[in-house]
Structure 1
């Protein structure tokens, strides 16, 4: 079996926050929304149903925990969770904090405008630290 390798596009567009039991938890480099990407560290996976039943249960638990932590840290109106993968086929789950009045509310974040990278490394680090604390 092949070893897990992170898709280069995910690696380019996000930074690792923490490794969970199954997933890499990553911050998408788009400051318009607190946007997390969870990537199960399993080689060759593109669909949730391809995971073993144990890994599906673990993914569900990790997504729930991350979603709750993101809501706690941001006070978001809504947490959007999606595993689309039409462009990047590697299995990954988006967990995005949305707020009434944010760019493109209530529409989807995909394909809306251009990403706005984090300009302030300290802001990014502070967010990551708060999220890690909320996950503890």
Structure 2
């Protein structure tokens, strides 16, 4: 079985970079610096279902992505979650939050419809992710 990205993830996100294990994408919602890491492990649904070596690699990538998001302007808190209620394919959200964001202090999931990026508006965030990918 080969890795393939769930169609809903593909529709809701923009490709940013390939990390050693994860495909990293930007959630197409300009209101939040929001990354999604998708382990390229066919059939993966749960973090605890990964092989130990893959779990260690995913965690290293999430830590690096969380640090990146935490350093972005206006980010006061980073939320990390692997919900999987709408999309079963294992994917981890890394979301920069601020007490000024529209969903604060509640969760971003289901708060309101996304506000998509304009063309090239996500380029700077994607460039940060690409730069980080080159360090792995």
Superposition TM-score, scaled by structure 2 size = 0.93
Aligned residues: 134
5+ residue gaps in structure 1?
none
- What is the CA distance between 1:96 and its match in structure 2? 0.3
Return structure 1 stretches of 4+ with deviation > 6 angstroms. Answer: none
Report what 1:22 is aligned to: 21
Q: Larger relative contact order (C-alpha < 8 A, sep ≥ 6)?
A: 2
- Aligned with 1:122: secondary structure? coil
5+ residue gaps in structure 2?
none
Superposition TM-score, scaled by structure 1 size = 0.93
The two structures, once aligned, show a CA RMSD in angstroms of 1.3
Richer in helix (by share): 1
Report what 2:34 is aligned to: 35
> Is contact 1:30–1:116 with CA below 8 Å preserved after alignment?
yes
Give the Cα separation in 2 of the matches to 1:75 and 1:133: 20
- What is the CA distance between 1:50 and its match in structure 2? 1.0
